[in-house]
Chain A
Amino acid sequence: MAPKKNSAKRPQPSTPKPSAPARIVKVQSSDGHILQADVRALLLSSTLAATIKGYDDENKPLEKLEVNNVVGFTLKLVLEWCEKHKEDDPAIAQAEKDKKNIFIPSWDRHFLTKLPMGNLFDLITAAYHLDITGLINYGCKTVANSAKGKSTEEMRELFGIPEPWEQPSTSTATWDD
């Protein structure tokens, strides 16, 4: 039998488990798109989890969550990722937070690397605003991987960082500031 490689270090992929019936709520993006999501998926976001908890504590019916700083397209990506990871143990993401070597599972790698850089940026920013640790971890590692093996000049091109002399002449501020 072939030996398993680093299986202990890697997070286990999400596996569907028999659980309570899904509690579906509506989520509205900043540009008015209304999407539907399982509450368990939304709980991966600390920000949304606090809001949901507030509703539950007050026994108010949760019909629609408003996410004011994420547009519909990006919110759809966020919810797709959360849906995939709703069964994950949050402790795994927390444990990986400060690690240098983060292993990205194959589904996440495919999900993140297929995105154009602009969308990846929006997704990571949205994950930051919604405080989704796992998505931040994988998103940041994907960006770091895209810089792998690149020289300074190639990195300047990838990250859109201007040359020092390309600073706007009308401003007193410089890129170096």
Chain B
Amino acid sequence: MNGQIFPFLRLPTDLCSEILKTMDYQEIISYSLLSKKALSMIKALQLPISYVQIRMDAQLTRVPLDENISLQHIGTANLKDLQLYYQNDLNLVEICSWNFESCMINIRIDQLSLRDLNRFFKMWVQGSNPKLKELYILCGTQIILIKGLKIEEETEEQGEKKFMIRNVRGIGAEISVLVLKSILTPLSGYVDVGKATVLLSNRKLDFALTYLLFLSNMDGQKFPFRRLSNDICLKVLKTIDLHEM
């Protein structure tokens, strides 16, 4: 069969039903997911399907942005991993309202606002992005603005600066400023940088490149035991072994 479009919706409804009826259930269910109209057509067939169990492994790649789908739509879509490449209209403050676990932002140096990045850190400290585990920002500078941030610990080793901050929930995070020089990157390859895996572009980088690495550290979580009511405190204590009491 030649790989062309079969204008299914232009068929008379009777014929659409005839075709759908002869499909296997798997294809019928796939078809029903196309649109509300498709679903109602399948319902009209009154097939003996009592229930359907669907497992979805969704992965969006290379999403074109237009008037109907914006960065805000994608960012708030409860994603596990998000990678952004050279978005002109990216606002680092705006991503505070996004909902992702891991994010990599590839940004041109002239598009990076250090002030906005600083505000993002402050908002994270205030409790935004509770799901966030990793944020990588790839750009061409090693300057970072930490003004107004309560730095718990600051270290510098071989040109790499690290700052420890903590948010209102007691979750600690490490801001790392990494400097990588003259990297010959593999084609669309992945390169491990410390704990993190950073996707590099497929071009030869012959300039100093700075990575701002932001890792939330779950180890630093505190359980506010004293804020529990006395009854619950007692219940917790009763379940603890004697030598720990």
Q: In terms of DSSP, what is the predominant structure of the interface of chain A?
A: helix
Are the C-beta atoms of A146 and B6 separated by less than 8 Å?
yes
Chain A 3-21 against B: per-residue CB contact (8 Å), 1 yes, 0 no? 0000000000000000000
Are the C-beta atoms of A140 and B34 separated by less than 8 Å?
no
Select the stretch in B24-32, B134-142, B188-196, B235-243 that faces chain A: B24-32
- Contacts A128-B14, A160-B6, A160-B9 known; A141 to B30 CB distance under 8 Å? no
Quick one: which of B1, B15, B24, B38 contacts A124, CB cutoff 8 A? B15
A46 to chain B, nearest CB (A): 14
Are the C-beta atoms of B34 and A158 separated by less than 8 Å?
no
Task: With A121-B10, A176-B35 given, name 9 new contacts (CB 8 A).
Answer: A117-B4, A125-B15, A137-B18, A141-B22, A147-B27, A147-B31, A159-B9, A159-B34, A165-B69
B198 to chain A, nearest CB (A): 30
Chain B 31-71 against A: per-residue CB contact (8 Å), 1 yes, 0 no? 10111111000000000000000000000000000001100
- Contacts A100-B22, A165-B68 known; A121 to B30 CB distance under 8 Å? no
A31 to chain B, nearest CB (A): 19
Quick one: which of A128, A142, A151 contacts B12, CB cutoff 8 A? A128
B8 within 8 A of A: yes
A50 within 8 A of B: no
Are the C-beta atoms of A146 and B30 separated by less than 8 Å?
no
9 interchain pairs, CB-CB under 8 A:
A113-B1, A137-B18, A141-B22, A143-B8, A159-B5, A160-B8, A161-B8, A161-B38, A176-B35
Which residue of B is nearest A154, CB measured? B30
B230 within 8 A of A: no
Q: How many Å lie between the Cα of A55 and that of B105 in the bound state?
A: 77
Q: State the 7 A-B residue pairs at the shortest beta-carbon distance, nearest first.
A: A159-B8, A160-B5, A117-B4, A176-B36, A117-B6, A144-B22, A140-B18
